[in-house]
Amino acid sequence: MPSENEIQAAVPSPEIQVFEQHAHPSRIGEELRALLALAIPVVLSELGWMTMTIVDLIMVGRLGPASIGAVGLGNAIYYAPSLFGMGLLLGLDTLVSQSWGAGRFDDCHRSLAQGIYIAAAFTPLLMVAMLFAARLFTGHGVDPTVATLSRSYVGLLNWGTSPLLVYGGFRRYLQGVGRVRPVSFALISANLVNLAGNWIFIYGHFGMPALGVRGSAISTVFSRIYMAAVLVYAAWIHESDRGHALFRHWPGPDWTRLRALLRLGLPAASQVVLEVAAFGAATVMASHLTPIALATHEIVLSCAAYTYMVPLGISAAAAVAVGHAIGAGNRARARRAGLLSIALGAGFMALMAVLFLVIPQPIVQIWTRDAHVVALGAHILAIVAGFQIFDGIQTVSTGALRGLGETRFPMLMNFVGYWVLGLPLGGLLCFEAKWGLSGLWTGLTLSLIVIAVWLCLRWLRDSRALLAAVDAPA
């Protein structure tokens, strides 16, 4: 079964082509420029996706801590199942891109159709799972106001599941055939649609009633319908340009191809959910504290998630850079690429740590002016600053290891770090030791330190073994 690195490396994206143009530089400066040329577009894409969630929290911020907490908790409940559904479609990266590279254009169309069948089959299951999760995680111990608002939010947001998966399927298809501009346009313009929708539905403009938290969910649903429509239209234009109607010859189910897509998608989806669910579980734990603490947790989590997008993009660049160097037989360059990527990720996160320490209150005030939330948020951001560098190291190390074909060890370390160490320790400090929100984030910080140390050590060991293999006599 292909590894996640093999899936990603199969996609002939423009970013990879940029890196290939710089595939043989010997100087560090040239290698850094090549790495940045690959990483920056990926980083911008990740930041654009994250912006939609942050805008939702900012727009409901004027409604008070309970609304902030409800939207944050609702997104945490919705996020993991929806990402699992999106992850199931990752197999399209491999099948579509390989078919396109071989000139089998009709095969691309057939793979897209199977991806949409998977999306259609799993959408009802995911929607039921989300409704069940909303009831489960807003039950006993959660503030009644937050619980009621969260259930209402998830119930409405759930209607955006189908267009979200359709968007995911068509995005993978368009990327596979080299049409990436429509994907960027859809994501950037959807942020504007979401912003306008929040303004209309949350506060009541243009004759609409003020729906509060429910208005934010409705705006997100419309944004996802819009994104799906843009990409379907882009695919229709693409197929028309090659003289093939997108829907007139829509393929029926191909069970062999469906199984191939699921064999590729299920492991990728499971790995994504494992890490995301850890922070979702932390949000559920925070929901058993006061509305002030939950609102603070959501704001701080948004800050940490936003900075995380940058090393996440560098991680993808590291995987490609290391993988291409290994494929070219240049093991020394593979080691340099990994070390340079880790240094770049750690350096950026060091700057973010300083930012969190120096101006924590203005950062929290982007979301709310509530004095209690601002004061607690400044304290928690100081804890978050302590793991920023380690978060960058563990994220980029994972990508570098993936470039070597090693994916099981990072998965194991994430499971042990979050689920065996971080969350249990955070829960004990939060509830038993009465540290509150500080205890929860202390547990997460310690888990990230452990994960970063082990992954970085593993990278140093494996990459050193590469050089040793070069130096060994035949």
Please tell me the predicted confidence (pLDDT) of residue 330: 77
b (16+ CB within 10 A) / e for 333-359: bbbbbbbbbbebbbebbeebbebbeee
Structure tokens at 359: 């101006």
Highest mean pLDDT pick, 71-80, 186-195, 204-213, 224-233: 224-233
pLDDT at 10 over 50: no
CA distances from 281 to 71, 157, 276, 342, 416 (A): 15, 19, 9, 28, 15
**Nearest-angstrom CA–CA distance, 208 and 194:** 16
Question: Predicted confidence band at 472 (pLDDT cuts at 50, 70, 90)?
Answer: very low
User: pLDDT tens-digit profile of 141-151?
Assistant: 777 888 888 88
Distance CA 34, CA 19 (A): 5
Kindly give, in sequence order, each residue whose CB lies less than 8 Å from that of residue 452, ignoring residues fewer than 6 positions away.
Answer: 390, 391, 393, 394, 397
For residues 380 and 361, give the distance between their C-alpha atoms in angstroms, rounded to a whole number: 11
Mean pLDDT of the region 364-390: 90
DSSP-assigned letters across all residues of 139-167: STTS-HHHHHHHHHHHHHHGGGHHHHHHH
> Using CB atoms within 10 A of its CB, is residue 67 exposed (0-12), middle (13-18) or buried (19+)?
buried
Predicted structure pTM score: 0.67
- pLDDT greater at residue 266 or residue 168: 168
pLDDT above 60: residue 6: no
Q: Please give the pLDDT value at position 175.
A: 67
pLDDT of residue 8: 39
Mean pLDDT of the 428-439 span:
90
Would you state the pLDDT for residue 17? Answer: 42
pLDDT at 42: 62
Rounded CA separation 418/391 (Å): 13
**Residue 178: helix, strand or coil by DSSP?**
coil
Least confident of 4-8, 51-55, 127-131, 339-343: 4-8
**pLDDT band at residue 94 using 50, 70 and 90 as cut-offs:** low
Q: What is the pLDDT of residues 204-251, one digit of tens each?
A: 888 888 888 888 889 999 999 999 999 999 988 888 877 777 887 788
Q: Are 232 and 163 in contact (CB under 8 A)?
A: no
| 339 vs 27, more confident | 339
Q: In this structure, what is the dihedral angle of CA atoms 307, 278, 299, 142, given to the nearest 10 degrees?
A: 180
Query: pLDDT tens for residues 281-295?
Result: 888 888 888 888 888
Q: Is pLDDT of 469 > 80? A: no
